[in-house]
Amino acid sequence: MKNTNDIISKINSKYAYMSKGQKLLSSYITDNIEHAAFLTASKLGEEVGVSESTVVRFAGFLGYKGYPEFQKAVEDVLKSRLYNNDKDKVNYGNVKKSKVLRSVLSSDAQRIQETLELSDEDTFNAAVDMIAGARTIYIIGLRYCSPLAEILAMNLRLMVSDVRVLNSTNASELFERLLYVSSRDVVIGISFPRYSMRTLKALEFASSRNAKIITLTDSYHSPVNLYSSCNLLAVTDMSTIIESMVAPLSIINALTMRLTMKKQKEVSLALEALDNLWEEYDVAGNDDIEFLDDKIKFRFMNESRKEEEDGE
């Protein structure tokens, strides 16, 4: 049975009595609930093309005491949908155990193909130019986006001297580390459903400091794109409880490859410096696996073959 108190039910029941601006708001919220849940009244009005006061009056028209209560109702609908989607994923059982490997790999391949179709070369090249010209690069990736942020940072450190990963879920620490961000810096926000409000707020702050912002997310309608001038898209949805991050990782690989081509001199110098450091300070120690001398390999092969023959 449908909850008649949720905001979508209220919109449907009062739609016939709405003004033109209210109908525009209704259509936007119904079609973009995952986006609208993160918007302030002014931003929602800007997205729809109405004034902030129209948005506030719309909240009152639907029976809410103010915009915060209205926004909470939008968030509740989004949470309910996400919860139901998660239950569907948990109960997913159409794939036989013997077919899991093939099914997952095929699904990942499909996600990469879909990502390729979404990709825009101009946007990709703009992101490369922004990163190449940055003084400092901040990469924000919270929760399960944290590994993606770490991989991207590890790659970028070969060509950019100052790369910082912001993956703390502590809001205070997140803003402290962004304190000196400026127009000379690039902030890369990585966020996929469920989107992170902390990531969104951090990008909003960076935008207020005129930093160049790049996002890696799943849709043009993703809330993190509100403050981004360069949106890189990657498809992540799967029919299981595990979100596939293969496509976002492919975008990161492509960025790394293109930046390596653009900054060949810097990368060569960095690799040479690392080799010297490892040798001088014995960083690798005895951890590296050394390839065996060919004579030794042949000896082992002959001994193994002899043992097999003796066993027969």
Query: Hey, what domains does the chain have and what are their CATH numbers?
Result: 7-90 (1.10.10.10), 101-265 (3.40.50.10490)
| pLDDT score for 110 | 87
C-alpha closest to that of 75 among 194, 189, 169:
194
CB neighbour class for 93 (10 Å; exposed up to 12, middle 13-18, buried from 19): exposed
Output the pLDDT for position 296: 55
Nearest to 199 by CA among 180, 219, 214, 182: 214
Among 41-45, 125-129, 267-271, the minimum mean pLDDT is found in 267-271
**Confidence grade of residue 1 (pLDDT, cut at 50, 70, 90):** very low
42 CB contacts (<8 Å, ≥6 apart)?
52, 55
Predicted pLDDT at 91? 44
Q: Percent of the chain having pLDDT more than 70?
A: 80
Cα–Cα distances in angstroms (integers) from residue 81 to residues 85, 142, 164, 195, in the given order = 6, 22, 34, 14
Which is nearest to 188 in space by CA: 243, 148, 234? 148
**Residue-wise pLDDT tens digits, 118-154:** 888 999 999 999 999 999 999 999 888 899 999 999 9
pLDDT band at 15; cut points 50, 70, 90: confident
pLDDT value for 282: 66
Contact 132, 263 (CB under 8 A): yes
Digit-coded pLDDT (tens) for 215-232: 999 888 788 888 888 999
Nearest-angstrom CA–CA distance, 265 and 263: 6
Structure tokens, 229: 């001038």
Scan for tokens 């193909």, then name that residue: 113
266 pLDDT exceeds 70? yes
Which is more confident, 173 or 99?
A: 173
Q: Which of 275, 233, 251, 236 is nearest to 152 (CA)?
A: 251
What is the pairing mode between strands 212-217 and 230-233?
parallel
Sign of the alpha-carbon torsion through 146, 149, 155, 160: negative
Which one, of 181, 191, 129, lies nearest residue 160 by Cα? 129
pLDDT of residue 196: 80
Q: For residue range 75-95, what is the model confidence (pLDDT) as tens digits?
A: 888 777 655 554 444 444 455
Residue 100 has pLDDT above 50, yes or no: yes
- Rounded to the nearest integer, the mean pLDDT of the chain is 81
| pLDDT class of 286 with cuts at 50, 70, 90 | low
What are the pLDDT digits (tens) for 187-202?
A: 999 998 777 888 888 9
Structure tokens at 62: 């639907």
C-alpha separations of 147 from 143, 199, 219, 222 in Å: 8, 15, 20, 20
Residue 237's pLDDT is what? 67
C-alpha distances (whole Å) from 125 to each of 199, 244, 251, 274 are: 24, 25, 12, 28
